[in-house]
Structure 1
Amino acid sequence: MFFLSDMLNKKLNLPKPAEALPGRDKPIPTAAKHFVSKRPLKGPYPEGLEMALFGLGCFWGAERMFWQMDGVWITAAGYAGGITPNPTYQETCTGLTGHAEVVLVVFDPKIVSYTDLLKAFWENHDPTQGMRQGNDVGTTYRSAIYTFGEVQHQAAIASRDVYQASLRGAGHDKITTEIAPAPEFYFAEEEHQQYLAKNPYGYCALKGTGVSCAMPEETART
Structure 2
Amino acid sequence: MLFGRQTLRLPSPEEALPGRPEREFPVPERHTVLGNSLLGPYPEGLRVADFGLGCFWGAERIFWQQPGVWTTLVGYQGGHTPHPAYEEVCSGMTGHTEAVRVVFDPQQVSYERLLALFWESHDPTQGFRQGNDRGTQYRSAVYTHSEEQLREAEASREAYQKVLTAAGHGEITTEILPAEGRPFYAAEPYHQQYLDKNPGGYCGIGGTGVACPVGLT
Task: Report TM bin, short chain.
Answer: over 0.9
The farther-off stretch of 37-46 and 62-71 is: 37-46
| Post-superposition offset of 1:61 | 0.2
2:23 pairs with one of 16, 27, 31: 27
Aligned 1:112-123 pairs, distance under 5 A: 112-123=109-120
Runs of 4+ in 1 over 3 A off after TM superposition: none
2:55 pairs with one of 55, 58, 71: 58
CA–CA separation in structure 1 for the residues paired with 2:14 and 2:213: 42
Establish whether residue 203 from structure 1 lines up as the match of residue 199 from structure 2.
Answer: no
2:36 paired residue number: 39
Residue identity in the other structure for 2:89: T
5+ residue gaps in structure 2?
Answer: none
Equivalent residues of 1:128, 1:176 under 8 A apart? yes
CA–CA separation in structure 1 for the residues paired with 2:34 and 2:211: 30
Establish whether residue 146 from structure 1 lines up as the match of residue 143 from structure 2.
Answer: yes
Aligned 1:5-24 pairs, distance under 5 A: 7-8=5-6, 11-24=7-20
| Post-superposition offset of 1:14 | 0.4
Please give the per-residue CA displacement for 1:77-118, whole angstroms capped at 9, x wherever unaligned.
000000000001111000000000000000000000000000
Instruction: Find the residue that maps to 2:89 and give its secondary structure.
Output: helix
Give the TM-score normalised by structure 1.
0.92
CA–CA separation in structure 2 for the residues paired with 1:38 and 1:175: 35
Aligned 1:85-104 pairs, distance under 5 A: 85-104=82-101
**Which one has a larger percent helix, Structure 1 or Structure 2?**
1
CA RMSD after TM alignment: 1.3
Please give the per-residue CA displacement for 1:42-75, whole angstroms capped at 9, x wherever unaligned.
1111000000000000000000000000000000
CA–CA separation in structure 2 for the residues paired with 1:200 and 1:124: 19
Please give the per-residue CA displacement for 1:127-180, whole angstroms capped at 9, x wherever unaligned.
000011011001100000000011000000000000000000000000000000
5+ residue gaps in structure 1?
Answer: none
Give the TM-score normalised by structure 2.
0.94
Instruction: Find the residue that maps to 1:17 and give its secondary structure.
Output: coil
CA–CA separation in structure 2 for the residues paired with 1:19 and 1:184: 19
CA–CA separation in structure 2 for the residues paired with 1:28 and 1:134: 31
> How many residues align structurally?
211
CA–CA separation in structure 2 for the residues paired with 1:41 and 1:111: 19
CA–CA separation in structure 1 for the residues paired with 2:14 and 2:184: 21
| Post-superposition offset of 1:215 | 4.5
CA–CA separation in structure 1 for the residues paired with 2:101 and 2:134: 22
Identity of aligned residues (%): 60
